[in-house]
Amino acid sequence: MTQEVFGLRYEFVYRHGHLMELYKEGGLATSELSNLQVRMLEANQVPRLLPLDIHEVDSNIRLLYRLSSKRMLSHVMKVENFSIQFLAKLIYAIVCTLDESKNYMLCEMNFVLKDNFIFIGQDWSDVYLTYAPIHIEHDVDECYSALDALLHKLIVYLGEEEQDQLLKWMPIHLNRKSFQSYKEAFIKLMDESILTQVARHTVQSQPVEATLIEQTEQGLPKAHWKQDEAIPILPKSENPKLAKHDPTQLNGQENNPSSTANVSLFPFSFVPLQQRGRWMAIALLFILLAFLWQYYWEHPKASTLQIMAGLTLLLGDAGFVLLFLGRPEFINQSNQTRQKSSINPNTTNPAHEVTTDNVASAPSPQDMQHYYQKLSMQTTLLSPSLSNATVLLGKIPKQDPLGPRLESQGEGDSRTVPINSDVFTIGRGDSSSKVDYVVDDIGVSRIHAEIVQTSNGFQLRDAGSTNGTFLNDFPLVTYQGYSLKDGDIVRIIRQELIFRL
């Protein structure tokens, strides 16, 4: 990585733990550091800051930040579900860190407010920021512009509807550039729906006269010519016509009453009841009707009479369906297609019939002997040892290239997983962290590693895992990209994956 921040380059290294290193090409001099800020960082454990170690070798200073048990925000945003409430928790924690830094005589403009330098723990409010204790000349309001730029970059990970809502909400509640107003706005955003806040502000901004008129109209009944304005007039639709079936396709259904399901246009069919089933259905209907009307005679009311009359009509309709159509039976599409193909198994295909002309034109015994004498000139013996085997003669289907993939081999089980995304994630995963390949083993992090497709090929990166990732038995430095070639072995705990192109 060659990106620079505050004129310093950064890279990820492994020195008894995962570290992020900020350095300068010509060497970072002592005069470039702020002595006051360095002393405050050494004397106090500032909350929500990455632990900092300052190494000086031959007057060359390097800033080392410990990253153990922390995840880079840019990597987490790619795989975890993100919502407005999570965004509010994250930005609120960042604003609180900036505001509380004044208690330690730190400068809020020295925080690196970029998603590659922000790390989180187990929760969205568990934030760790990168602080560079160097002399930097900034404008007073530059911190708010960096905070707004971070907010706009994180909004992209929300849905389109949530993006529109938040873009309308920001000019209303973030117009005052102060940490206190930012904190109050995001506290409300966590506790209250954003739609309620936007609607409330819209109502408050309406003219008083319009509001009074609207309230007055709501309290009075509408005129007769206004009551039907909100009712849309729909065009009349013609009754659907069922397609007529060819009578020749229904051969064999007269002897089998249940075959009507084969041409049904609905996902269920009716199976006619036997004589015993009909009598049982009639008896059950009469028993239900007797119970219903007995309840009415015990509690005679006008409302009860209406309910009993409606239930009687429903039971009468159900009895009509059971007696004349049968009981309903649900079928799936595959069974329906299978039944259609077997409507009349006795029908024959004329194309496959053996006619008398074909029998008459059969070769004579002399022609058969001549045919077998010439057989060696017409065929090729493929395998003498398997003379009875059936050989498929024809074109071999062209196989599509497999492309980049991972091959895993376990105990009696082999699996191939195609790499079909630019960022292919590997890990344990959970309900909030979705990964492309799940490794369910003890010690695997939720997002353990990832394979990134770049212009120069594929790279493997460790995504800040606790137990590390190995490439050909070589431990990887977290967040550092390593080129992959065909046949490389990626090991995560006990799982070995072979990379193929």
Q: Is pLDDT at 55 greater than 60 in this prediction?
A: yes
**What confidence score (pLDDT) does residue 82 get?**
84
Closest CA to 13 of 79, 65, 71, 84: 65
pLDDT tens for 312-332 read 888 888 887 777 777 777 655
Residue 26 DSSP code: T
Q: Enumerate residues 6+ apart whose C-beta is below 8 A from 50.
A: 20, 65, 66, 67, 70, 119, 128, 129, 130, 131
pLDDT tens for 330-383 read: 655 545 444 444 444 444 444 444 444 444 455 555 566 666 666 656 555 555
Predicted local confidence at residue 25, as pLDDT? 83
- Is the distance from CB of 493 to CB of 467 less than 8 angstroms? yes
Here the tokens at position 274 are 């036997």
Instruction: Look up residue 4 and give its amino acid.
Output: E
The whole-number pLDDT of residue 400 equals 57
| Cα(274)–Cα(457) distance, integer angstroms | 70
Contact 75, 463 (CB under 8 A): yes
Looking at 400-446, which runs of residues are DSSP E strands?
405-409, 414-418, 423-427, 437-438
What's the rounded mean pLDDT across residues 231-247?
47
What does the pLDDT look like over 381-396, one tens digit per residue?
A: 555 555 565 655 555 5
What is the number of residues in the chain? 501
Pairwise CA distance, residues 82 & 102, whole Å:
31
Q: pLDDT band for 256, please (50, 70, 90 cuts).
A: very low
> Rounded to an integer, what distance in angstroms lies between the CA atom of residue 184 and that of residue 91?
12
| Position with higher pLDDT, 362 vs 310 | 310
DSSP, res 140: T
Query: For 414-450, what is each residue's pLDDT tens digit?
Result: 788 999 888 899 998 887 778 889 988 888 988 899 9
Mean pLDDT (whole number) for 94-108: 91
- Tell me how far apart the alpha carbons of residues 122 and 340 are, in angstroms, rounded to a whole number: 57
What global pTM score does this model have?
A: 0.54
Confidence of residue 225 (pLDDT cuts 50, 70, 90): very low
Residue 445, CA atoms < 13 Å, CB-side half-sphere: 22
DSSP 8-state class, residue 338: H
Which residues have CB under 8 Å from 462's CB, separation 6+? 448, 449, 468, 469, 476, 477, 478, 479, 480
Residues 6+ apart with CB under 8 A from 464: 18, 67, 70, 71, 72, 75, 119, 445, 447, 478, 479
Helix (H, G, I), strand (E, B) or coil at 150: helix
Please give the Cα distance from 372 to 81 (Å, whole number): 72
On whether the CB atoms of residues 49 and 93 are closer than 8 A, the answer is no
226 has a pLDDT exceeding 50: no
Q: What is the 3-state secondary structure (H, E, C) of 270-304?
A: EECCCHHHHHHHHHHHHHHHHHHHHHHHHCCCHHH
CA distance 217 to 98: 50
Residue with tokens 């922390």: 70
Would you state the pLDDT for residue 345? Answer: 46
pLDDT of residue 261: 42
Q: Fill in the DSSP letter of residue 49.
A: B
What pLDDT, on the 0 to 100 scale, is given for residue 217? 47
Identify the bridge partners of residue 8 per DSSP, sorted by sequence position. 5
Instruction: Check: CB of residue 64 under 8 Å from CB of residue 19.
Output: yes
